[in-house]
Amino acid sequence: MERNLPIGVFDSGVGGLTVVKEIMNQLPQETIVYFGDTARVPYGDKSKETITAYSRQITRFLLSKKVKAVVVACNTASAYALETVQKGCPVPMLGVIKPGAKTAAASTKNGRIGVIGTEGTIRSGLYEEYLREISPKSRVFKKACPLFVPLVEEGWLDDEVTRQVSRRYLAELLEQQVDTIVLGCTHYPLLRKVIQETAGDAVTLVNPAYETACELREMLAERGWLNDGSSAPAHQFYVSDGAEKFRKFARSILPGDAATAEDIFLKVLTL
């Protein structure tokens, strides 16, 4: 495997940029090829079959860009499709759920963990499954929060409406005295301030993106596949619709140069 090949990352839309941000912070020498399926977002309310078909199609596209690994930067796709799609994939694939579960298990003190995510992620039960494996004594309380994604897309990150929605969604989990909440959807780290305010400082919020980037770094290092940094990364971003909205989002989320570059490589593509 050529160590300087890019890393493929995909999501249902813009949310996966929160994962890209962590990868760029931890692995600044790596090149990213990102696909955001902005024409078909949201994934959160679609069936397992549909999400698996989309994920397979996008993985095929990323492989055509000769990536050395694929990161499924979408909780719903990680929950529904990763296991199936990785079977036929010639390069390693990583999802966000296992790393998120690992961090939550390490963080909880009272063994009571809350998981919030899209309807699909919550329905899949995968966070619980991993948590049961890693930390059999912990108890998991989950809640689908479907309104959070449109609120983020609307840019209402620090808004009274968002606060009200957050209070309503989190009430059940807080009644259960969880001390850790997994932000099990790529959009939720952008609502961190509001969610933390609702949950209170005693609750630790887990962003699976951070641990996913750590696992990616470890996996590449173990295989001797870390980019040698001999040339500056030339990231490529592909979306299936709405390039301008994506560009705006990318600028507000991505670190440093990647965010400010006027000429960020961005292409609209129909798979």
Q: Which among 89, 145, 185, 214 is annotated as catalytic?
A: 185
Find the residue with minimal CB distance to ligand DGL.
44
Least separation, in Å, of the C-beta of 201 and ligand DGL? 25
Q: CA–CA separation, 161 vs 199, rounded Å? A: 16
Confirm whether 214 is a catalytic residue. Answer: no
Q: How far is CA 152 from CA 1, 52, 133, 199, 269, in A?
A: 38, 25, 32, 18, 24
Q: At what angle do helices 208-223 and 17-26 cross, to 10 degrees?
A: 50
CB of 121 to ligand DGL, least distance (A): 5
Q: Which is nearer to ligand DGL, 5 or 209 (CB)?
A: 209
Instruction: Look up residue 127 and give its two tokens.
Output: 């966070």
Strand partners of residue 93: 70
Q: Which is nearer to ligand DGL, 5 or 73 (CB)?
A: 73
User: In 158-196, which positions are buried (b, 16+ CB within 10 angstroms) versus exposed (e)?
Assistant: eeeebbebbeebbeebbeeebbbbbbbbbbbbbbeebbe
Applying CB under 6 A, the residues found at the interface with ligand DGL are 11-13, 15, 41-44, 74-76, 118, 121, 149, 185-187
Closer CB to ligand DGL, 189 or 233, in the complex: 189
Nearer to ligand DGL, 13 or 233 (CB): 13
Min dist. Cβ of residue 218 to ligand DGL (A): 22
- 74, 89, 145, 214: the active-site residue: 74
CA distance 257 to 269: 24
Residue 192 CB, nearest approach to ligand DGL (Å)? 15
Minimum CB distance to ligand DGL smaller for 5 or for 206? 206
Quote the least distance from Cβ 63 to ligand DGL, whole Å.
Answer: 21
Q: Which of 72, 29, 25 is nearest to 52 (CA)?
A: 72
Give strand pairing partners of 269.
none
**Cα separation, 188 vs 269, whole angstroms:** 26
Question: How far apart are alpha carbons 186 and 36 in whole angstroms?
Answer: 12
Q: How far apart are CA 21 and CA 28, in angstroms?
A: 10
**DSSP label at 263?**
T
Q: Which residues are tagged catalytic?
A: 74, 185
